Structure 1
């Protein structure tokens, strides 16, 4: 399969290096202060949450980033409740150390990675991605992580591995939302193997240069920016390589509303609302939803010949 390089991003969407470096230094400083104020943490304590050795990346869009406070207080994370503020209010009960991610299934090198070892598999990069929620709102988030493909190569999938399944932590003691029946826990998501190997798909351990907050999926989550946000599984505990398409949590709960692919598509409405428009958090007016969330030049070839009305 031929993947188009990320240099296919329009030049107008890439921040010039000199501006990016100045903005990065400024935002790092402001991010620490804003986060500390939002979370009630003193600056000295907050400094301990900084991630070291994070490098800049070409995957940086020249769009205004959503403020740290909005990213960390307006979330969908049903393991802590269905309200947008529930994750920030209740995720303090989640213990992210020690933490292991078990890799299993149709791979030659199964294993178990503690979170610190996982973070050392590849250099950490800051990647500024558009993120689109199926409910119609969006953000621009500076994630810190590394390509999912780095982990996949290390575990050496066999020829029978057609899909990657992600299973999140199932612990109602730490995640009070799991005491409800809103979903069949644990939360399960999945990607086709070529989607998982795409350079845009990343495992995330931080945002705004800091350790990933609990309410945003700590200590490690998936981010797939051309798909609706619910595809990006949070607090991952198990990664399985399988031959058959996984039955994801939302497919199990509402198969007419949530398909396996869940690509951002303004031409395929949710049964209960249109997907043609979106509201960027912090803006009043709605904007047009972009096909594949604006990443069509990079990912459209993955779906060539597919009926995207049927495979929604």
Structure 2
């Protein structure tokens, strides 16, 4: 039975928008599918995104190559060109290491080995996962997702990881669990924080949260890699949240604890400024940030002036409404 892909509402005809790399990936996928006579949900390929030449200093910060990762055919094409790794790995928010976008050198101070993630709270089977578990306990796949920052810039990146619902199946939340709290690594000895943060008494560690239903959604993802490698530290090594229908600040990095709880957890940005950073934080073009419009977004790319980047209209739920709109009716 052939694989039938129903394009999302934001996706234009392939001849108009598909970048060459994504087009060739799709052609290879269909050829393999027909040759095998298969109708499987995923197709195994021996390599992820082909390596991109980057400068030597950035190369030192990138993760270890991954191979044999399955590409999920539902997420081969985000409707936009893939963002170059050179840009995506040099332009990051990671407030534990500073308030600018150029934190990638200092983020290398993040200690990632050994590492454990504790899963606890209202679950039947509490677990503690180590580094090997994060890449071996759950089958890994690659998904190309749109990424939208609340600051109105955007990119498209190939995450490697596993659906959050796989972890939920392992720990079995009880019926009392209504929310999930995700806590990031924090150590004042290696995390200087933003320069403007000293007077604000910032609520470290960084905490984010979802409803149980959001975590169980097909889109919700734990990333342990990107661009065919394990996660670099500036991207939140060794494991981070990826919820592409929400603004990027909802994606907690360098997670050390996951707790299933009955009440909505207090989260980092919502605690600092609740009128600007809602707990839900879905991408909604008609709902402006108090200090800027969300109707358009700047695509991360060439040039040193971010305000000179190409702009595109923002799409409700970042283009993933078919997956998540039913959560909010």
Where does residue 250 of structure 1 map in the other structure?
A: 269
Where does residue 326 of structure 2 map in the other structure?
A: 301
String of CA shifts for 1:96-155, please: whole Å, max 9, x gaps.
Answer: 111000011000011211021122222111110000000010000111111010001100
2:319 & 2:57 partners in 1: Cα distance? 31
1:285 aligns with 2:306: no
Tell which deviates more after alignment, 217-226 or 170-179: 170-179
Q: How many residues align?
A: 291
1:190 aligns with 2:201: no
Conservation of the 8 A alpha-carbon contact between 2:51 and 2:227: no
Where does residue 119 of structure 1 map in the other structure?
A: 135
Conservation of the 8 A alpha-carbon contact between 1:106 and 1:161: yes
Shift of the alpha carbon at 1:247? 1.1
1:244 & 1:8 partners in 2: Cα distance? 37
RMSD, aligned α-carbons: 2.5
TM-aligned CA distance change 1:120 to 1:30, over 3 Å: closer
Conservation of the 8 A alpha-carbon contact between 2:48 and 2:142: no
2:46 & 2:173 partners in 1: Cα distance? 39
1:57 aligns with 2:72: yes
For residue 66 of structure 1, give the secondary structure of its aligned residue in structure 2: coil
1:70 aligns with 2:87: yes
1:79 aligns with 2:88: no
For residue 222 of structure 2, give the secondary structure of its aligned residue in structure 1: strand
Select 1:18's aligned residue among 24, 27, 32.
27
1:90 aligns with 2:106: yes
Listed as ranges, the gaps of 5+ residues in structure 1 are 1-5, 305-312
Shift of the alpha carbon at 1:20? 6.3
Where does residue 187 of structure 2 map in the other structure?
A: 171
2:284 & 2:137 partners in 1: Cα distance? 33
Tell which deviates more after alignment, 117-126 or 288-297: 117-126
Match runs of 1:106-185 below 5 Å: 106-177=122-193, 180-181=197-198, 183-185=202-204
Conservation of the 8 A alpha-carbon contact between 1:121 and 1:151: no
2:122 & 2:6 partners in 1: Cα distance? 33
2:27 & 2:46 partners in 1: Cα distance? 11
Conservation of the 8 A alpha-carbon contact between 2:97 and 2:191: yes
1:226 & 1:299 partners in 2: Cα distance? 8
Where does residue 39 of structure 2 map in the other structure?
A: none
TM-aligned CA distance change 1:281 to 1:52, over 3 Å: same
**TM-score after normalising by structure 2:** 0.82
TM-aligned CA distance change 1:108 to 1:25, over 3 Å: closer
1:30 aligns with 2:51: yes
1:287 & 1:102 partners in 2: Cα distance? 40
Match runs of 1:165-244 below 5 Å: 165-177=181-193, 180-181=197-198, 183-244=202-263
Conservation of the 8 A alpha-carbon contact between 2:83 and 2:301: yes
**TM-score after normalising by structure 1:** 0.86
Shift of the alpha carbon at 1:178? 7.2
Conservation of the 8 A alpha-carbon contact between 1:115 and 1:219: yes
Shift of the alpha carbon at 1:173? 1.7
For residue 237 of structure 1, give the secondary structure of its aligned residue in structure 2: strand
String of CA shifts for 1:173-224, please: whole Å, max 9, x gaps.
Answer: 2222179445310001000111100111100001011010000000000000
